[in-house]
Structure 1
Amino acid sequence: HHREQPEHYQQFNRDHARLRAPGERSFAQLKSWRILRRARCSTRRIGTIVQAVHTLLTSNYSG
């Protein structure tokens, strides 16, 4: 049968989920990018592409 976990375990699980969520969302977004699915270049070059796209997506350039 299922027992309620102690509060410190519940808090740990909440903190862990909060830390993992941004990474999981990022990986899900990366998987959707066609450029990476069709990439036939080195992993170093893919890393550079990912960095560039990340910069473009997260920059707040206002002109």
Structure 2
Amino acid sequence: MTAPRWGNPVGDGYAEHLFTVTFEDEVTVATDGGGRVTVPRSFEASWPAGPGVFFRATLDGVRWR
């Protein structure tokens, strides 16, 4: 996925730059309503041009509100 984000990834000034989020693996979990949904197990966000990955996350659990 790509989306705009305010930042300064290559040090030439702050502006909107595209960043990329990649998703890996998946897990299917039950919802409170008895259904099921498949979500990514992990993902990372990075600047395509710049220092690279600036955020990584791994799903440990799902809680519905």
Q: What range describes the TM-score normalised by the shorter chain of this pair?
A: under 0.3
More relative contact order, 1 or 2 (CA 8 Å, 6+ apart): 2
Higher helix share: 1
- Give the TM-score, by structure 1 length: 0.20
- Give the TM-score, by structure 2 length: 0.19
Higher Rg: 1
Higher strand share: 2
